[in-house]
């Protein structure tokens, strides 16, 4: 049953099918994210992109198909039956299309929460506050602070997340995902609601993350300029079916893609 991971792929799926009642949201999606690459998933609204993300992160369980995640060369994990928190623990982090920050908590706390699966302290540790727990808390607070610092959010560390401007909230969501120390980062429409300047910054940010954090990125995006500029490979989904895949230049000229987006003459 193991879906064969091609050499150098961090994630590959085969035959992913998701059926809600009578509606087939995804059918037989064969997909692949190269290790260290930036891969984009595009498609018109309702094509099933977010559903695909939800399958990958364990929020939905696909009706059929296999998903294989390879955090390191030579290590393969089947994702299909795992719970969302377990998948995060293994190294897949995501952001959400509609920002889902912990609004009434501070920016730093948002990041600290993401450190959860890298921490060990339990109830007893919390109550007794022994040396190990204190050291862990301190190390994680410092880690979170430095992470915020690196992405230009340190000055707002003690602000409530909901009080951040929109662009900073988007950025914080990405930083929060990074705090889980993923090997694969899934970004669900990171440019939604950003202006042109902010989108340009996002472009740089995504490359920066890929290089500095040494991970692979998979993004869903509607902003074609961003997709074409940032991604190494593009997959196109339409009505739950993968209709094209390839480098951005090829996709741009693909008649099927043009048809899906613009309709037929």
Would you count residue 184 as binding other proteins (CB under 8 A)? Answer: no
**224-263: contacts with other proteins (CB under 8 A):** none
Would you count residue 133 as binding other proteins (CB under 8 A)? Answer: yes
Contacts of 191 by beta carbon, 8 Å cutoff, 6+ apart? 198, 199, 202, 221, 222, 223, 226
Burial class of residue 121 (count of CB atoms within 10 Å of its CB; 0-12, 13-18, 19+): middle
Of positions 14, 27, 39, 156, contacts other proteins by CB under 8 A = 156
Q: Is 239 left (phi over 0), alpha (psi -120 to 50) or beta?
A: left
Determine the longest span between alpha carbons in the chain, in angstroms.
71
**12-71: contacts with other proteins (CB under 8 A):** 57-59
Number of residues that bind other proteins (CB under 8 A): 70
Residue 98-127 contact track with other proteins, rule CB under 8 A, x = bound: --xxxxxxx-xx--xxx-xx-x-xxx-xxx
Q: What share of the chain is helix, strand, coil (3-state, %, to 5)?
A: 40, 25, 35
Taking the least distance from each CB to other proteins, the nearer of 140 and 244 is 140
- Looking at beta carbons, which pairs linking 149-155 to residues 24 or more positions away fall under 8 Å? 151/175, 151/178, 151/205, 153/107
Of 31-39, 148-156, 235-243, 248-256: span binding other proteins (CB under 8 A): 148-156
Taking the least distance from each CB to other proteins, the nearer of 39 and 88 is 88
Of positions 30, 76, 137, 232, contacts other proteins by CB under 8 A = 137
Residues 174 and 206: their CA atoms lie apart, in Å, by 9
Of positions 71, 84, 246, 248, contacts other proteins by CB under 8 A = 84
Taking the least distance from each CB to other proteins, the nearer of 111 and 244 is 111
Q: Give the up-direction half-sphere exposure of residue 235: CA atoms within 13 A in the CB hemisphere.
A: 23
Of positions 80, 96, 97, 222, contacts other proteins by CB under 8 A = 96
Residues 147 and 153: their CA atoms lie apart, in Å, by 9
Residues 114 and 1: their CA atoms lie apart, in Å, by 32
**197-226: contacts with other proteins (CB under 8 A):** 197-198, 201-202, 204-205, 208, 212
CA 57 to chain centre: 9
Taking the least distance from each CB to other proteins, the nearer of 51 and 156 is 156
Taking the least distance from each CB to other proteins, the nearer of 216 and 245 is 216
Q: Which residues of 196-206 are buried (b: 16+ CB within 10 A; e: fewer)?
A: eebbebbbebb
Would you count residue 196 as binding other proteins (CB under 8 A)? Answer: no
Phi then psi for residue 65, to 5 deg, are 105, 165
Taking the least distance from each CB to other proteins, the nearer of 37 and 106 is 106
**Given the rule CB under 8 A, which residues bind other proteins?**
57-59, 83-85, 88-89, 93-94, 96, 100-106, 108-109, 112-114, 116-117, 119, 121-123, 125-127, 129, 133, 136-138, 141-142, 145-146, 149-160, 163-165, 167-168, 171, 176-177, 180, 197-198, 201-202, 204-205, 208, 212
């Amino acid at each position: 049953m193991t879906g064969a991971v091609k050499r150098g792929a961090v994630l590959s799926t085969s035959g992913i099918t998701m059926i809600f009642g009578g509606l087939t949201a995804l059918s037989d999606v064969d997909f692949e994210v190269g290790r260290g690459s930036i891969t984009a998933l595009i498609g018109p609204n309702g094509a099933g992109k977010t559903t695909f993300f939800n399958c990958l992160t364990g929020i939905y369980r696909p009706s059929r198909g296999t998903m294989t995640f390879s955090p390191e060369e030579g290590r393969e994990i089947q994702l299909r039956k795992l719970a969302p928190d377990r998948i995060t623990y293994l190294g897949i982090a995501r952001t959400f299309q509609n920002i889902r920050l912990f609004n009434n908590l501070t920016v730093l706390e948002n990041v600290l929460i993401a450190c959860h699966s890298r921490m060990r302290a339990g109830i007893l540790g919390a109550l007794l506050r022994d040396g190990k727990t204190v050291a862990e808390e301190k190390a994680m607070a410092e880690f979170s602070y430095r992470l915020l610092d690196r992405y230009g959010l340190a000055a707002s560390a003690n602000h409530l997340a909901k009080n951040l401007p929109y662009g900073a909230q988007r950025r914080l969501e990405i930083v929060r995902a990074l705090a889980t120390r993923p090997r694969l980062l899934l970004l669900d429409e990171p440019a939604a609601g950003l202006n042109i300047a902010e989108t340009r910054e996002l472009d740089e940010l995504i490359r920066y993350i890929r290089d500095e954090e040494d991970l692979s990125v998979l993004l869903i995006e509607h902003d074609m300029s961003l997709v074409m500029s940032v991604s190494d490979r593009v997959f196109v989904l339409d009505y739950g079916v993968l209709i094209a895949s390839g480098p951005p230049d090829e996709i741009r000229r693909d008649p099927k893609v043009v048809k899906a987006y613009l309709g037929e003459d």
